[in-house]
């Protein structure tokens, strides 16, 4: 997918003389998703953050196909080429983790080490995929209605009632996170969900079996759904799994220090 179809909003933070890390945010996030993490890493890494299609300040000029996982991945590779980054570490959270896994498995030479936070390789059966597409479509419609009723904040607060997020609402910075999420356009979020949601993404389970590069999987103690998924992942590929105590789906937000410590340990242990 040509870069002409996108105007990516991105930023670099850290030490430009050090190894680059590409951070991919989750659904409804933006390039500031990992700000607290990057503060702890900026002396030792060159941290690149990007607003993914449908999020933040990134603009999409092409059609709906520009929002798909395959086309987004190719556009990101083209952007890295433009930035002359031919190898980098890769960190992805949730939706960004699914995209990171796609990138990793299709362009393994570009990403020697990858950290996936609360991610999955997608759904295996057509029945599961169709059910999830229906579910995602219902959420996309709610996002569209948010624009008409001006109740995006209510949508967000309800979103974080999901069990996978554990006790995230008790976090002292939760209100700030909601304010950041409110900077997104609900109509664009709906497009992202319709074209890069879990139901319509390519299933990566079979390709995951081919993995030989170092891979770290992080999941939160309270995120039972993704603990099950990630345990299945380590049974079929070379990967480490770490369950982070007292955390739900969003580990880097709830347990920033533990997240950074695991990232540092993994990257230092697997130096080439």
Domain range summary for the chain, segments of one domain joined by +: 3-269
Please, which pLDDT band fits residue 147 given cuts at 50, 70 and 90? confident
How do strand 10-14 and strand 46-50 relate by DSSP bridges? antiparallel
Residue 213: the pLDDT is 85
CATH of 3-269, picked from 3.40.50.1860, 3.40.50.1820, 3.40.50.2300, 3.30.1330.10, is: 3.40.50.1820
pTM as predicted = 0.96
Q: Tell me the per-residue pLDDT of 100-129, one tens digit each, with 9 for 90 and over.
A: 999 999 999 999 999 999 999 999 999 999
Cβ contact 180:207 at 8 Å: no
Confidence check: pLDDT of 272 > 60: no
* Cβ burial 220-237 (10 Å sphere, 16+ → b, else e): bebbeebbebbeebeeeb
With a pLDDT cut of 90, the percent of the chain lying above it is 92
Per-residue pLDDT, averaged over 235-249, amounts to 95
């Amino acid at each position: 997918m040509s870069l002409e179809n996108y105007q990516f909003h991105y930023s670099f933070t850290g030490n430009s003389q050090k190894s680059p890390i590409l951070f991919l945010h989750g659904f409804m996030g933006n390039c500031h998703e990992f700000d607290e993490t990057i503060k702890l890493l900026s002396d030792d890494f060159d941290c690149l953050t990007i607003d993914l299609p449908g999020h933040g300040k990134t603009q999409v000029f092409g059609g709906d196909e520009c929002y798909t996982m395959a086309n987004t991945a190719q556009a990101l590779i083209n952007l890295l080429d433009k930035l002359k980054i031919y190898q980098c570490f890769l960190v992805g959270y949730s939706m960004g983790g699914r995209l990171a896994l796609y990138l990793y498995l299709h362009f393994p030479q570009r990403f020697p080490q990858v950290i996936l936070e609360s991610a999955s390789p997608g759904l295996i059966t057509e029945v599961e995929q169709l059910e999830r597409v229906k579910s995602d479509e219902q959420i996309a419609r709610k996002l569209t209605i948010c624009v008409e009723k001006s109740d995006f904040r209510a949508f967000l607060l309800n979103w974080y009632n999901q069990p996978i997020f554990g006790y995230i609402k008790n976090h002292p910075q939760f209100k700030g996170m909601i304010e950041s999420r409110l900077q997104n356009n609900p109509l664009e979020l709906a497009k992202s969900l319709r074209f890069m949601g879990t139901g319509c993404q390519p299933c990566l389970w079979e390709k995951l079996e081919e993995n030989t590069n170092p891979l770290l999987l992080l999941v939160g103690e309270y995120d039972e759904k993704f603990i099950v998924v990630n345990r299945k992942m380590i049974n079929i590929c070379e990967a480490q799994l770490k369950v982070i105590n007292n955390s739900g789906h969003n580990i880097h937000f709830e347990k920033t220090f533990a997240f950074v410590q695991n990232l540092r340990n993994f990257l230092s242990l697997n130096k080439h």
